């Protein structure tokens, strides 16, 4: 039998009253790959992530994670299965330190019992030590170790986005979904981000799906890209195929004219 896709969306739609926010979306993401979703504002990109993570239940269609049907499951069940995301608007514990932000994400998946935790029994201490070591190692890998004691809210914007990605990894997820990770970043920060995304895939055996409506990061890091517009898929292919697709060019040029 062939290997299942890490993520598969089959004829997935989400309708809000009359609005077709996502309309017959078909996506197949191979394990270990980096997959991009592009499209103009309001195209339906975040709606797709909201369906994968259980925030929205699809109106129709099926979503599978490593072959398992996860359509309509609760967000906490889906997180537990190993899907983590970042948000278009950064969501961190702004008042907590960088380290505590990572530790709290890591602890989502720890297994020690309630009493062990309360009474600080040996099993708890061992896991606590391991948690600390793993979180510090993770921070080191992404170049945030020196900033571990800083308040997250005080970090420059680009590093807050990076910390959000670290939190997603710390949960132990196998699939991470990044919603516009380059938003608000300058050129240098987005170039660094591209490197981080490529490295984490290798280092942590991850499959990654990235949304952006800026082409540069997506074109640099993704093997396969789907372009969507008005909830519908326009094309799926390599960076070059997508960039040269007439429907994609029209979708972007159309918006540029509207904005002018």
Among 47, 71, 86, 224, contact with ligand ATP (rule: CB under 6 A): 47
Residue 229 in the binding site for ligand ATP (CB under 6 A): no
Q: How many C-beta atoms lie closer than 10 Å to residue 241's C-beta?
A: 14
Return d(Cα 19, Cα 231) in angstroms, integer. Answer: 9
Instruction: Identify what 2 binds: Mg ion, ligand ATP, none; CB under 5 to 8 Å per kind.
Output: none
Residue 88 in the binding site for ligand ATP (CB under 6 A): yes
Phi, psi of 55 (to 5 degrees): -70, -40
Residue 46 in the binding site for Mg ion (CB under 5 A): yes
What value does the CA radius of gyration of the chain take, rounded to a whole number of Å? Answer: 19
Among 44, 54, 58, 181, contact with ligand ATP (rule: CB under 6 A): 44
Q: How many C-beta atoms lie closer than 10 Å to residue 118's C-beta?
A: 9
Instruction: Identify what 82 binds: Mg ion, ligand ATP, none; CB under 5 to 8 Å per kind.
Output: none
In the block, residue with structure tokens 């993520």? 7
Q: Which is nearer to ligand ATP, 46 or 53 (CB)?
A: 46
Give the dihedral sign, CA 125/93/180/26: positive
- In the region spanning residues 26 to 45, those forming contacts with Mg ion, defined by CB under 5 A, are 45
Residue 50 in the binding site for Mg ion (CB under 5 A): no
Pairing relation of β-strands 7-16 and 60-65? Answer: antiparallel
CB of 110 to Mg ion, least distance (A): 31
List residues near ligand ATP by CB under 6 A: 16, 19, 21, 39, 41-47, 88, 213
């Amino acid at each position: 039998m062939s290997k299942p896709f890490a993520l598969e969306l089959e004829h997935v739609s989400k309708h809000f009253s009359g609005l077709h926010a996502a309309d017959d979306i078909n996506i197949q993401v191979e394990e270990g790959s980096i997959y991009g979703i592009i499209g103009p504002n309001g195209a339906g990109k975040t709606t797709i992530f909201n369906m994968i993570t259980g925030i929205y239940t699809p109106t129709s269609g099926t979503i599978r994670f490593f072959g398992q049907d996860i359509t309509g499951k609760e967000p906490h069940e889906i997180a537990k299965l190993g899907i983590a995301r970042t948000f278009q608007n950064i969501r961190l514990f702004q008042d907590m330190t960088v380290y505590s932000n990572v530790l709290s994400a890591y602890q989502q998946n720890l297994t020690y019992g309630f009493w062990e935790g309360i009474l600080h029994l040996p099993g708890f201490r061992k896991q606590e030590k391991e948690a600390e070591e793993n979180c510090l190692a993770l921070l080191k890998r992404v170049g945030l170790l020196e900033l571990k004691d800083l308040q997250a809210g005080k970090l420059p914007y680009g590093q807050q986005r990076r910390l959000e990605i670290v939190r997603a990894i710390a949960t132990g997820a196998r699939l991470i979904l990044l919603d516009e990770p380059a938003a608000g970043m300058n050129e240098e920060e987005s170039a660094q981000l591209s490197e981080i995304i490529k490295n984490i895939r290798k280092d942590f055996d991850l499959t990654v799906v990235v949304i952006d409506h800026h082409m540069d990061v997506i074109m640099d890091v993704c093997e396969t890209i789907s372009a969507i517009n008005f909830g519908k898929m326009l094309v799926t292919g390599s960076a070059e195929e997508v960039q040269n697709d007439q429907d994609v060019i029209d979708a972007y040029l159309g918006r540029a004219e509207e904005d002018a």
